[in-house]
Amino acid sequence: MKTKRVVISGSPGAGKTTLVRKFKTMGYPAFDEYSRTLLEAAKKDGKSNYFLSDPQEFSEALFAGRKKQFEALEQVKTDAPFALFDRGVHDIYAYLKAIGEDSNSWYERVSRFQYDLVFLLAPWKEIYKLDEHRSETFEQASHYFTFIQEVYQKSHRVIHVPEGSVASRIDFIEAKLKSYE
């Protein structure tokens, strides 16, 4: 049985990373949000807001990391029916599109990667907060979500995750995954 690739994506600050980390503790293979690795390295090099200061360079580095994650699943020894990704390759194009830096070549590059399911988390003001890697306002996060949703809906089966506790969101996603098997 081939392990299916499942993306958890959506608005910045909507709870994606919390859910992926919880799934990891439950034994699911999971891949962390790669952009955080890039942002940490950039800060050490004195670059602030790496994505907005050099969106193409940042996106190239992000593409390399997410591509590596996508391909790494083939090397993971697991009987799990699903592996979860905290954001996917398509998010790169969505973010570039949101700031007017997209191109046909970027679209073609990300379109080569297909996930089996995509769960989207909408902007949720009550839980939104800035952190060392998240510098956009809630309104900017909502703006990015519009493009993320649009990009994934073009080529993937998308399921919207309702607001709720971490436990209720995990239950919702697990129920959808079980019905997908």
pLDDT digits (tens, 9 = 90+) for 48-107: 776 777 889 889 999 999 999 999 988 888 888 999 999 999 999 999 999 999 999 999
Give the residue from 84, 102, 80 showing the smallest Cα distance to 93: 102
- Give the residue-averaged pLDDT of 112-123: 96
User: Quick one: pLDDT at residue 123?
Assistant: 93
Which tens digit of pLDDT belongs to each residue from 10-49?
A: 998 899 999 999 999 999 999 999 887 887 777 777 777 7
pLDDT for 18: 94
Mean pLDDT taken over the chain = 90
In this predicted structure, what is the pLDDT of residue 1? Answer: 67
**pLDDT of 133 over the 70 cut:** no
- Relative to beta strand 117-121, strand 158-161 is parallel
C-alpha–C-alpha distance, residues 53 and 48, integer Å: 8
- pLDDT of res. 181: 65
With a CB cutoff of 8 Å and minimum separation 6, the contacts of 80 are 3, 27, 28, 29
